[in-house]
Amino acid sequence: MPTRRGRLRAIRASATWALALLAVAVAAGAQGLDGLLSADGWVPQPGERAQLALDLDGHATEFRLLKHHEGTSIIFAVRDRASGRDVAVVKTNSLSTNVSAEIYAWRLAVVLGCPEVVAPVSPVTLSGRSLAKLRDLLAGVSYGASRKEDARREVLAELDRVLAAGRGLPGAIKPWLDCFVQNRRLGTRELFAATDAAAWLRAGGPRPGDGIVALSQVSALQEPTGIHLGRLPARRLAADLADIMLLDALMGQDDRFAGGNLHVWRDGGERRRVGGAPDMPLWDLGEVRLLALDNGAALRPGLNTGLRDLRGEIHPGVRAERFDRRVVDRLRELRRQTAGADSARVWERLGLVGKRAELAARRLDEVLAHLDGLEAVVGEQIWLPDPELRDRRWP
Ligand SMILES: Nc1ncnc2c1ncn2[C@@H]1O[C@H](COP(=O)(O)OP(=O)(O)OP(=O)(O)O)[C@@H](O)[C@H]1O
Ligand SMILES: [Mg+2]
């Protein structure tokens, strides 16, 4: 049995340890914002390096269009010929998909200190052989009478224009994800409104405790089909949701709650088969995070659905009134950095120029004004419990 003095020493030691960890986290956070925005260009993050190194023009990679049901934009998977494995996807501009919004979403998440809720995205310019590979693929399919067919025709026409002009086609490249699944319940307003998680985000509502939340999703279309299971701490889930809803309001995201645009993932993980029937296998994704995978429908003038959701103006049960304090602190710091004479350069680091940068600056002001107004009314209720300082007795 430890003595009372021994126990006190242990408590003091663990408190010192927690404070030391906190100091490191705070220092890393502050350094991150400055280091990222004052450099000559965007500093590619570790998650971007593998996709930036891919030789899209060479023989080492081959392309394959995603299937009809896999979204309406034109996305192709990049396969490494030697291993036969998919390694990346490239999304192109079409209809409502805006490549620079995909890039901005990732960079904004990095700058605000919540990169885990967005998959790494880097800009690519398709030219030479990669353009020819994509052209062959697009010319060889048809998607019937659908929005995807409209997108195919639009990309094909743009491709012919850039080929004739000797230019390149802009795209957004992301790593191929192996361990993820959409979450319909959290990604559909009517279903989400009825969850505990939605209540945690409302000022005056219950707070997420120290428990673990289990998430499940039956997937009939996305491969592998079956029942997908994942779990994460309640505090983490609340913070991830708040971070995504805040990012959406900042980007002017118009398509988050369409049903298939909110995912859970385990970065770098693999799903394990843990049973189920032959036609309905059970997959375990392990400890997951929420993922805003599809960020193409953003940065458009007009309605900001993301901000309207934050305010609860679209569905009364869906609103975010509690936030992750670290992220909001960094947001205020970002506003300071984009308010000065150097603002165009800072926006350029984030991938935005001209009208898009102006729009993003306006969104930033709108969201911060909203947060200030909300804090004046709800006070400390605006903060979620810190997702990192959870009870360490969990398995
Ligand atoms: N990085 C990735 N790795 C593996 N699969 C992916 C990846 N990105 C997208 N997909 C697959 O493609 C689907 C569509 O992706 P996404 O939602 O980004 O495209 P979209 O066409 O813009 O969708 P929407 O129809 O909602 O506008 C995803 O649900 C997923 O199944
Ligand atoms: Mg989508």
Which of the listed residues 70, 87, 223 should we mutate to test ligand 1's pocket, taking the one with most ligand atoms within 8 A of CB?
A: 70
pLDDT in tens, 158-189: 999 999 999 999 999 999 999 999 999 999 99
pLDDT in tens, 315-338: 999 999 999 999 999 999 999 999
Q: Counting atoms of ligand 1 from 1, which one is nearest the CA of 73?
A: 21
Ligand with smallest separation from the Cα of 254: 1
- CA diameter of the chain: 81
Residue type at position 132: A
pLDDT class for 18, splitting at 50, 70, 90? very low
pTM here is 0.90
393 exposure class (CB count in 10 Å sphere: 0-12, 13-18, 19+): exposed
d(CA 322, CA 378): 9
- Ligand 2 centroid to residue 362 C-alpha, Å: 25
Structure-block tokens of residue 28: 């890393």
**What are the phi and psi torsion angles at 284 (to 5°)?**
-105, 120
How much is the average pLDDT of 233-241?
Answer: 97
Give how far Cα 230 sits from Cα of 163, 213, 217, 266, 316, Å: 45, 9, 9, 9, 28
Averaged pLDDT score across all residues of the chain = 90
pLDDT at 84 over 50: yes
How much is the average pLDDT of 11-22?
Answer: 45
pLDDT at 394 over 50: no
d(CA 161, CA 234): 50
Radius of gyration for the chain, computed over Cα atoms and rounded to the nearest angstrom = 22
- Ligand 1 centroid to residue 77 C-alpha, Å: 10
Q: What pLDDT sits at residue 17?
A: 46
d(CA 195, CA 348): 39
pLDDT in tens, 96-111: 899 999 999 999 999 9
- Ligand 2 centroid to residue 222 C-alpha, Å: 12
